[in-house]
């Protein structure tokens, strides 16, 4: 079971390696891939040293699975080359998500749709993953009609340079500006680039990916905000269903859903927070309450580590499902 990790030295790539180890994934040979400047350096995995190789070398080694976290341009160029030699690619970029010929997978929701013919599999956007994880079990029972989501997204979603910007600002030092404004002691309603409709790419990812994963009939509008936090993404979500619900039943449905942890006892100050979610693979849901301004409508607060379930963990879980079902 040769496994390639493309982008092995990046933030998500490093977490992929951690999760592969934590999940006891049956790796017989690791193929870490990074940029030319990193080729020849060593990566330690499961007590063994593996040299970093260039991407063409990795293709030539014909791994069973290639986990990609190296950006959209790299994925568009190289994922088909891996697929052509029989490798199953699980891509963490936005390159293939809305391609009608590629599946957009969250294992707990639609993992069973995968077949041996799926050689390029798309991993959803981090903020989408945690949202649909909480929506899916409720949608099966009540049918989601409309969603309004406001996100509070960790700077780790931008990458290590964003973390360095915030740390420099907190020390009072000059910073390499990844964002157009300071991020420390600030909130930026600006995740990804702005589009002609006034929304950002991040906001439209939430809309379009949720429709593709769950149901194209769901109406969703989003506002995505970058906040000076490193632990994970948070989302305030307002959900209108086609019919009424019982709050006790909603909590039971979420409690029974795989990958969801309900933390909802406001009277004792128990609710999800990025500080608590950091380093964990689950999606945490709390502040579950009825919207008293409108019928059949629910409010929730959803938190997850965006580098884990929002990226690396979801990709590794897809790979585990492929192995379990004999698809690789």
Two tokens, residue 210: 């949720």
Q: Which residues, in sequence order, are CB contacts of 167 under 8 Å at separation 6+? A: none
pLDDT per residue as tens digits for the range 56-89: 999 999 999 999 999 999 999 999 999 999 999 9
Domains in the chain: ranges and CATH: 2-124+311-324 (3.40.50.720), 127-305 (3.30.360.10)
- Taking only the tens place, the pLDDT of each residue in 291-301 is 999 999 999 99
pLDDT of residue 248: 97
pLDDT at 180: 95
The per-residue pLDDT for range 215-249, each reduced to its tens digit, is 999 999 999 999 999 999 999 999 999 999 999 99
pLDDT bucket at 121, cuts 50 / 70 / 90: very high
The reported pLDDT for the residue numbered 256 is: 98
Cα dist from 115 to 67, 182, 260, whole Å: 17, 46, 26
pLDDT digits (tens, 9 = 90+) for 191-222: 999 999 999 999 999 999 999 999 999 999 99
- CA 17 to CA 321: how far, in whole Å? 17
Instruction: Please say whether the beta carbons of 33 and 54 come within 8 A.
Output: yes
- Mean pLDDT across the stretch 313-320? 98
Instruction: Enumerate the active-site residues.
Output: 126, 233
User: 300 with 239: CB under 8 angstroms?
Assistant: yes
pLDDT > 70: percent of the chain: 100
pTM higher than the cut 0.75: yes
Mean pLDDT of 177-183: 96
Cβ(284)–Cβ(241) below 8 Å: no
What pLDDT digit, counting tens, does each position of 9-42 carry?
A: 999 999 999 999 999 999 999 999 999 999 999 9
On whether the CB atoms of residues 100 and 77 are closer than 8 A, the answer is no
């Amino acid at each position: 079971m040769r496994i390639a990790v493309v982008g092995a030295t990046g933030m998500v790539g490093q977490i992929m390696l951690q999760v592969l180890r934590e999940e006891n994934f049956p790796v017989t040979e690791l193929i870490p891939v990074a940029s030319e400047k990193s080729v020849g350096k060593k990566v330690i995995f499961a007590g063994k040293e593996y040299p970093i190789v260039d991407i063409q070398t990795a293709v030539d080694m014909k791994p069973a699975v290639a986990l990609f976290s190296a950006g959209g341009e790299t994925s568009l160029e190289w994922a088909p080359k891996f697929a052509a030699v029989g490798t199953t690619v699980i891509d963490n970029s936005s390159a293939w998500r809305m391609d009608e010929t590629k599946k957009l997978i969250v294992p707990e929701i639609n993992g069973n749709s995968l077949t041996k013919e799926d050689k390029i599999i798309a991993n959803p956007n981090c903020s989408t993953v945690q949202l649909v994880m909480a929506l899916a079990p409720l949608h099966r029972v009540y049918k989601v009609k409309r969603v309004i989501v406001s996100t509070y997204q960790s700077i780790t979603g931008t990458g290590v340079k964003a973390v360095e910007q915030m740390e420099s600002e907190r020390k009072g030092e000059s910073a390499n500006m990844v964002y157009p404004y300071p991020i420390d002691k600030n909130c930026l309603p600006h995740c990804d680039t702005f589009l002609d409709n006034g929304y950002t790419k991040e906001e439209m990812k939430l809309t379009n990916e949720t429709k593709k994963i769950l149901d194209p009939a769901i109406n969703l509008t989003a506002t995505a905000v970058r906040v000076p936090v490193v632990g994970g993404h948070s989302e305030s979500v307002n959900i209108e269903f086609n019919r009424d619900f019982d709050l006790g039943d909603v909590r039971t449905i979420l409690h029974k859903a795989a990958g969801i942890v309900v933390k909802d006892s406001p009277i004792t100050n128990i609710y999800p927070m990025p500080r608590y979610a950091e380093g964990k693979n689950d999606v945490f849901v709390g502040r579950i309450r009825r919207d008293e301004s409108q019928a059949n409508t629910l409010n929730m607060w959803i938190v997850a580590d965006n580098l884990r379930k929002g990226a690396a963990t979801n990709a590794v879980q897809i790979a585990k499902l492929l192995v379990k079902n004999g698809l690789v």
